[in-house]
């Protein structure tokens, strides 16, 4: 009998470039549409997507603005207060590129766009994120064994020396003084930005740790992919994983919690082959609740309110709708 958990993408959108990274905006843009940004080899595109509440994708609009970066985009993050209407939106977002620089973009999604370049990293930047409360700070991690915090003037305000390449960074959704940094050698540390010291650490017990995420709807939960496995911590109980299960045969690449359900998360296999695997997991089920694949997939993001995730690939975006 066919496996009912194996599904084709609910919807695909053609792109003009290979998609290295894709992110839904975590903010309400004041309309039924959702903002989505993706980065390719030469530019970042910001577009709008519209979905039915019945979980059937209704339509996807084409790009609203295209920003030329001149370098391959390796990470991006959007930040914007909620406007009264999408036409009034001034979108602020930051990108990391292959030239080891962070760029802060301010665009009205029409014809006007300003960019501020932040220099300091000396190697590949793996991840960056806005401080979620007011969006006045940016944190980034790199293969240069550092986590750096920047202000919107483009100045580096804090730098943490890591013991291995930094692969993921997450801000506490309510306490802007707490920052989580995941390292490739399997350690996740939580830093107090006031004292600039580590206050807690988690140990995955194996390597390499490729991606980690802090559950925004229940901050005692932290998840990651390490080697072929996904691992989950309850930070109030132990520094070692509470749960661990095999996920991907050929190594795992991304871990992301759903923004709509604290028990739902997705992982992807390592890109570079003909197809990359997407698995959607639920903590109440021993096996993945959904399996998908995309041509050489890269990047992973969840919609702000729907149980819908997207990954990029070879000139396409792939969307999957799953159950809560």
The 3-state DSSP class for residue 88 equals helix
Query: CA-CA distance, 91 to 88, in Å (whole number)?
Result: 10
Q: pLDDT: is 149 or 306 the higher one?
A: 149
State the pLDDT at residue 26: 78
Query: Domain ranges in the chain?
Result: 6-321
Indicate the range of 75-79, 142-146, 296-300 predicted with least confidence: 75-79
The domain over range 6-321 is classified in CATH as 2.130.10.10: yes
Split at pLDDT 50, 70, 90, the class of 1 is very low
pTM of the model: 0.91
State the pLDDT at residue 249: 87
Backbone angles phi, psi at 194, to 5 degrees: -80, -50
Can you tell me the mean pLDDT for 1-9?
72
Q: 218-221 — which CB contacts under 8 Å span 24+ positions?
A: 218/262, 219/172, 219/173, 219/174, 221/257, 221/262
Query: CA-CA distance, 303 to 306, in Å (whole number)?
Result: 6
């Amino acid at each position: 009998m066919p496996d009912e958990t194996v599904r084709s993408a609910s919807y695909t959108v053609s792109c003009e470039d290979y998609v290295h990274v894709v992110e839904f905006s975590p903010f309400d843009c004041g309309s039924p549409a959702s903002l989505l940004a993706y980065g390719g080899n030469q530019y970042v595109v910001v577009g709008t997507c519209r979905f039915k509440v019945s979980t059937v994708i209704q339509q996807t609009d084409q790009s609203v603005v295209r920003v030329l970066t001149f370098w391959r985009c390796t990470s991006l993050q959007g930040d914007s207060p909620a406007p009264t209407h999408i036409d009034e939106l001034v979108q602020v977002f930051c990108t990391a590129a292959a030239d080891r620089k962070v760029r802060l973009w301010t665009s009205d999604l029409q014809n006007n766009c300003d960019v501020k370049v932040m220099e300091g990293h000396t190697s590949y930047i793996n991840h960056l994120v806005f401080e979620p409360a007011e969006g006045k700070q940016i944190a980034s991690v790199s293969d240069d064994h550092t986590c750096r915090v920047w202000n919107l003037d483009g100045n580096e305000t804090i730098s943490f020396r890591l013991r291995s390449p930094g692969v993921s960074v997450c801000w506490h959704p309510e306490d802007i003084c707490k920052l989580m940094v995941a390292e490739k050698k399997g350690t996740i540390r939580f830093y107090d930005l006031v004292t600039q010291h580590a206050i807690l650490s988690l140990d995955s017990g194996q390597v390499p740790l490729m991606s980690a995420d802090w559950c925004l709807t229940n901050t005692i939960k932290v998840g990651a992919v390490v080697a072929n496995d996904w691992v989950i911590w309850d930070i109030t109980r132990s520094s070692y994983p509470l749960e661990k299960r095999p996920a991907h045969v050929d190594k795992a690449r991304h871990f992301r919690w759903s923004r709509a359900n604290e028990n739902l998360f997705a992982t992807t296999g390592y890109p570079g082959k003909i197809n990359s695997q997407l698995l959607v997991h639920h903590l109440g089920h021993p096996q993945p609740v959904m399996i998908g694949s995309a041509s050489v997939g890269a990047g992973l993001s969840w919609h702000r309110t729907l149980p819908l995730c997207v990954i990029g690939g070879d000139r396409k975006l792939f969307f999957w709708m799953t159950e809560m």
